[in-house]
Amino acid sequence: MTLDVRIHGRGGQGVVTAAELLSLAAFDQGLHAQALPSFGSERTGAPVVAFCRIDERPIRSHDPVDHPNLVVLQDPTLLRAGGVLDGLAEDGVVVVNTSRTPAELADAGLHVRSGQRVVTVPATELSRELLGRPLPNTALLGAVAAVTGVVSLEAVRGAIRQRFKARPDSVVAANVRLAEGAHAVVAQEEEQRHA
């Protein structure tokens, strides 16, 4: 089992934190994991990419993920620039932060090949409700747990608690609820897909 993840977003959305949390969740489950940030212009709103590798065996590669099994798109406007799906595995999954359906995204330019699929979750809307701010990263981690099964929801909860332990309890609890809510949305979609 190997999971190579590439996370696209914008500065200020917690892209690097998302990769770190996913790596921490995997590590806490006894897996090998690494998170790799990629910084260009370090300003709020600038495109940011981060990577996460998870494996049962030690990870020897420390380069960017060029051929991900999973792409997480924290900001769907990045689709306009192109390149976010480059190298996606034949059976790859794209998790998109949007309230639109995969069919609506296809009409807007998100095209995946046969065998690949798109999963959507309204992470920004959920985060505005629970955090009062558009920080979609922890919601998207809940979605990743639901769609891949590589990390458990409990491991994601633990990673959030560990990473944000210096924050107020209310912030930690809101982020946990955010991951749980997104996990529930995607788990229900996955269940319907397999029915």
Rounded average pLDDT over 92-105:
93
Rounded average pLDDT over 160-168:
96
pTM of the predicted structure, to 2 decimals = 0.94
**CATH architecture entry for 2-194:** 3-Layer(aba) Sandwich (3.40)
pLDDT attached to residue 40: 63
Three-state SS across 122-155?
CHHHHHHHHHCCCCCHHHHHHHHHHHHCCCCHHH
